[in-house]
Amino acid sequence: MNQYDESQIQVLEGLEAVRRRPGMYIGSTSIRGLHHLVYEIVDNAIDEAMAGKCHRIEVTLHPDGSVSVQDDGRGIPAGIHPKMGIPTLEVVYTILHAGGKFDGEGYKFSGGLHGVGASVVNALSEWVELDNCYDGRRYTERFERGAVARAFRCEGETDRHGLYVRFKPDATIFEETVFEYDTLLARLREQAFLNGGVNISIRDERCMPDAEGNPTEPRENDLLYEGGVRSFVEHLGNAKKAEVIHPDIIYMRAEREDYVAEVAMQYNDTYNETLLTFANNIHTIEGGTHEVGFKNALTRVLNEYARKNGILKDADKNLSGEDVREGLCAVVSVKLTEAQFEGQTKGKLGNADMRQFVDKLVYTKLSEYLEENPSAGKIILEKALAASRAREAARKARELTRRKNPLEGSTLPGKLADCQERRTELTELFLVEGDSAGGTAKEGRDPRFQAILPLRGKVLNVEKSRLDKVYGNASLIPIIQALGCGIGEEFDMEKLRYGKIIIMADADVDGSHIRILLLTFFFRHMRRLIDEGHIFLAQPPLYRVHKGKKEYYAFTEAERDAYMEQLGQGAEANRYKGLGEMNADQLRDTTMDPNYRTILRVTLEDAIECDQMFSILMGDRVEPRREFIEANAKFAENLDV
């Protein structure tokens, strides 16, 4: 071993730490991290909007791979920083933990709390160009990989105000440097909803070629929602193609010196809830005190209303939170001066006072609404009562199932071929379509760490079913038993028995249908398995190409053609229609062996869009599904017809 002494203790200075460990600051260097750079700059402009100083934000994707963000806010102070002795603009973009959002003086409400956003973007970009109009003068500066490339200078007087930032991500750091227009559009639309009256636009000047290779016209969206979170709820409902059960969106707002809270909500005829919470415009995907306050007040108000109006009798049990949120579409947005988030990811709000503040708002305003709108109150309660009856039926079905085949404890599904390993992080469970393929998979697996569960019967479409139907489905119950972690409100990640759950279905239309039914089940009832990266899709080959003793497996038609050409005259390809057509060793070598297989991790880039797609494609209503198919049929490939 090399000698270990004091000379090997390194100190990373300036922005070098960001370039060396980018994942610590932006999560990853994948496409998600790439988009995070844009969000950091846009969020700074949004903070100006929350301060009432910015009314328009323009995002442009340029042909050279760069992106620019222009706002009409105040700009960045242009003087020499009293402590650092360099221009303040340079301080903001080259020094970590430098910003105007620590003391609450420059910004009353702010999403940026740690002062790293702008400097991280600078560190991870090939170059950054700044054009800063502040207090009647225009200033410019250029950086390259975090270092000053063209010094800060004043360009003269101007009647404009605001900041223009243009940057090109560093291709030596990011796995992908091509921005996805639709991903950015979804995030910007969200911000436009949360900041009613602020005009946000996005324009794509790259003119990407279409499917035929022809150049396209620049794409542009202009986003302005005067209705704010009310418009957000309306948009979410329209996107899901759901039928609302009461016509008006319920809106509530309260404000005091250091807090603002807004809530918009409406019920629809689906069985699923869509609840989005935000704090200082940051999507708190793990919830927090504002979400707890909303849920508690909602449950309390509806139970009190039901008992006051004789809908619930003295002997009846209270409605649960799950009951009163069935079919709910709601947005809770709060703004506060001293936001306390858990971690740099800001996924959960921790301010204790906010729970009581939101609770009081919802309890007071929703109680008033129900008193003034008895017809809406009645139909909301009827839906909650139906959900309660289904939940009770599910409980009885669950208890009956436990008596026959315990969902908890040592009893496992009869058809499960379990593995020897007991450490969850090392184990894999293959969900295999049918007994035939299941038998082949059992022969081809490595029994030390791979378990096989053949699926029997038709997988239930849970999008059209309440929980009681789930507990009566012959295909889903064995999955719940095998995984061991429960579903819905009983879900407990600590009890999960397998680190990877791999869906292995035929490479045809029927196999695709089974995959989407299982994904719908996991998304609606075991969402954390997807969020935390436990769900995978196996990728069995489409073709076996062979000539004599030589054989290759092709996963695409292009691969098949390449192997056919390589083997020459006499080569053949017996497209696989099902996993059961493979021998055990073939299935092992192509689809199951970690050394050679390809599996795809199921991820959620945009949970809101996923929710909408599941509702449209798997829900009760036929018309939205037909519209989607008609609009997207031209993109379909490998149809088995």
Active site residues: 433, 506, 508, 510
What is 447-509 written as a DSSP string?
Answer: TTTEEEEEE-SPPP-GGG--HHHHTT-TTHHHHHHHH-S-SGGG--GGG---SEEEEE--SSH
Instruction: Single out the residue of 476, 419, 473 nearest to residue 449, CA to CA.
Output: 419
Cβ-contact 128, 63 below 8 angstroms: no
Alpha-carbon gap, residue 487 to 640, rounded angstroms: 34
Beta-carbon count within 10 A of 81 CB: 16
Phi/psi region, residue 104 (left: phi>0; alpha: psi -120 to 50; beta: rest), is: left
Cβ-based burial of 512 (10 A; exposed 0-12, middle 13-18, buried ≥19): middle
- The tokens for 134 are 């502040």
| Phi, psi for 562 (deg, rounded to 5) | -65, -40
Cβ-contact 610, 601 below 8 angstroms: no
Amino acid at 217: E
- The tokens for 497 are 């028995």
- Cα dist. 194→26, 197, 329 in Å? 23, 9, 15
DSSP letter, residue 318: P
Secondary structure, 3-state, 231-282:
HHHHHHHHHHCCCECCCCCEEEEEEECCEEEEEEEEEECCCCCEEEEEECCE
Q: Which residues pair with 256 in a beta bridge?
A: 259
